[in-house]
Amino acid sequence: MPIPSSSTTLRLPAGFKNLLEGLALEVLRAQPADVVAFAAQHFQKLLEQREGEWSGPARPRVKEGCDIAPFLPPPPPPS
């Protein structure tokens, strides 16, 4: 889905919409007092699940609490 921004058209990365929809549903279910902390925990869990499923060569480790962790691309499919 393109998003107009001045003269540049931005596109959502694959999976981004689903990622945010999943977060929105969990926020609505849990009704956390601190949405930012809840979102950080939510994305950390997703990252840990993904790393647990990855059985290929070692991926670079991301320090816990690092802001970029939720934005890392998914691992490549097994060859």
Q: Is the pLDDT of residue 20 over 90?
A: yes
3-state secondary structure of 2: strand
pLDDT tier at 28 (50, 70, 90 boundaries)? Answer: very high
pLDDT of residue 48: 87
In whole angstroms, what is the distance from residue 49 CA to residue 20 CA?
17
Q: Is the pLDDT of residue 63 over 60?
A: no
pTM score > 0.85 for this model? Answer: no
Instruction: Pick 32 or 4 by higher pLDDT.
Output: 32
Q: What is the pLDDT of residue 52?
A: 79
Provide the 10 A C-beta neighbour count for residue 42: 19
The domain locations on the chain are: 33-54+63-69
